[in-house]
Amino acid sequence: MSRKHETQLKTNCTDTDCKSAPAGGVPYKSGEKISIDSAIWYIDATLNYYYANSNATSAKFHWDTVYVELELVNSYEAMYQQVFTSYDESLSGLSEKYHAISGENKRFIMAIVNDAGPLPDNKHKLQIVTVSGTGILQSSGDFGEEEAYLWNRNAQFDCNGDSALGAPVIFETMLDAHFNPPPAGSCHWFFYGPITYHRLYYYDYPLNSTLQNYLDYKIYAASSAVGDGLTDEVKCLEDDQNSSGVHEMQFYYDHLKVFVSDWLASPENTENKKFAPSSEIESPTDFIGDATIIYHRPVFEFRKRGISCQLQLDIPATN
């Protein structure tokens, strides 16, 4: 990253806002120090501002993690030059992971920089989680009669035996497209800063007083101890099961949208954070006594969202 980019980011971004602006700004002073928290924020915002593009939905997400060390001058501050060095190491690690991913329509979605704690010799460890995407998932949210998807996120086929993603992954990409529609013109979104997590548990949202393994909760869940157990029909989210006239995919997707919308509009969202594409809908299996329970566990992530209207930079290849 050039010093021009470093200077521009410091001018464009504050701890509460980050947006595109003309290049320029006041150069860093020689010998200036920065706190660990500010260094983490700086590396996170810079990587996302110049390289991330969260406009298009992906059919598959790729998660990777790299670690870098930050040299300190005391227990809580580093010199700016050391932050630049750690940034370069972060970009190098990101590049290595990104260019190892194969697939069409590959794009870098976001970086998440976390404090991984102190190290000996007056150093600090930083964790950089990267999220990339491949493929394009296009869906209007109106599911057809023949669309039927398996409940688990690692599914490779649909209920008809055709190659397809699992229901949780489809929900994730559709939520991203709904809450982060592309901005006008050639601009694109990027996300930065600390994450707020919002986890949901199916048993907090019951609908049926007598369980049937069908639309019992606002979030998908089923048990081997209910009815005929975990049949193929129960594991499949499809249209008009039991002659209900309801498409299960639409039913659960609509509830997920409401959950996200409610949090975004809640008093808890004091920083005007937005739905992050790194959100996941986990699909665990629990064993309670003799019963096997399968369910979805949404883990929504919310971050500050910025808009950049400058030409997005390609992630440089490693030497």
- Do 138 and 57 meet the contact criterion of CB atoms below 8 Å apart? yes
Q: Which pLDDT tens digit goes with each residue over 245-301?
A: 999 999 999 999 999 999 999 999 999 999 999 999 999 999 999 999 999 999 999
For the cut 60, the answer to whether the pLDDT of residue 13 exceeds it is no
The residues spanned by each domain of the chain are 3-136, 149-182+195-304
Quickly list DSSP for 282-306.
E--EEEETTEEEEE-EEEEEEEEEE
The β-bridge partners of 127 are 67, 114
Q: Which of 21, 248, 62, 31 is nearest to 148 (CA)?
A: 248
Buried b (16+ CB within 10 A) or exposed e, 72-105: beeeeebbbebbbbbbebbbebbbebbeeeeeee
Q: Which two tokens stand for residue 216?
A: 């019992």
For the cut 70, the answer to whether the pLDDT of residue 17 exceeds it is no
Name which residue leads in pLDDT, 308 or 318: 308
Q: Which two tokens stand for residue 13?
A: 């971004």
Q: Which pLDDT tens digit goes with each residue over 158-216?
A: 999 998 889 999 999 889 989 998 888 888 889 999 999 999 999 999 999 999 999 99
For the cut 60, the answer to whether the pLDDT of residue 4 exceeds it is no
Q: Which pLDDT tens digit goes with each residue over 78-115?
A: 888 888 889 899 999 989 999 999 888 888 888 889 99
